[in-house]
Amino acid sequence: MIPGVKRACLKCGVLTLHGSWCAECLAKAERIRSRKRGTRHYTGDYRKRAAAVRANAVECWICHEGARPGDPWTADHLFPGDPASALLAAHRSCNSARGDRPADQM
Ligand SMILES: [Zn+2]
Ligand SMILES: [Zn+2]
Indicate if 93 and 54 belong to the same structural domain: yes
pLDDT in tens, 54-104: 999 999 999 999 999 999 999 998 887 777 788 999 999 999 998 877 666
Say what the pLDDT of residue 37 is.
59
- Judge if 86 and 51 occupy the same domain: yes
Residues 93 and 55 in one domain: yes
Same domain, 57 and 79: yes
Distance 29 CA to ligand 2 centre (A): 36
**What is the Å distance from ligand 1's center to 70 Cα?**
51
- Ligand at minimal distance from the CA of 12 is 1
- Distance from C-alpha of 80 to C-alpha of 86, rounded to nearest angstrom: 10
> How far does the centroid of ligand 1 lie from the alpha carbon of residue 27, in Å?
9
Query: Do residues 49 and 35 both lie within one domain?
Result: no
Closest ligand to C-alpha of residue 8 is 1
21-41 pLDDT per residue, tens: 888 888 888 887 776 655 555
Which segments within the chain are labelled E, that is strand? Answer: 7-8, 15-16, 73-77, 87-91
Reported pTM:
0.55
